Amino acid sequence: MLSPGDRAGVFNTATCLTANRCPAAQHDRCHRTVAHRPAVTQEDIGRHPARIERPSLPYTLHPGTRTVVLGQALPPRDRHNLAHVPAITLRSPENPAERY
């Protein structure tokens, strides 16, 4: 069974192109769906930190790339939520106390 198009921001990156284990039909589905996603705006991203009780979380949105870079380390649960709800690529500083 095929999954929805890529929501993790991996499609067509070096990771996707060199380590792709997806069947051709899945790759085609990502190719068709990812290109048609609407651009992510500051407003789209801005409302999510409050949902994880971090309303003043510093971040930078790189327009046109669906990539957000956080200004502080977060626990995996919060990073996962911030990345997957709006379907963005999330970069975060490493948390030295985290082994994940």
3-state SS, residue 73: coil
One pLDDT digit (tens) per residue for the chain, 100 residues: 457 777 777 787 777 888 778 888 888 888 888 777 778 888 888 888 888 888 889 999 987 778 899 999 988 889 888 888 888 888 899 877 777 6
Tens digits of residue pLDDT in 26-46:
888 888 887 777 788 888 888
**pTM greater than 0.85:** no
In which residue are the tokens 């070096």 written?
14
Question: Cβ of 32: how many Cβ atoms within 10 Å?
Answer: 10
Q: What is the dihedral of CA 64, 24, 33, 52, to 10 degrees?
A: -70
Q: What distance lies between CA 73 and its chain's CA centroid?
A: 15
Residue 18's H or E segment, with its range, is helix 14-19
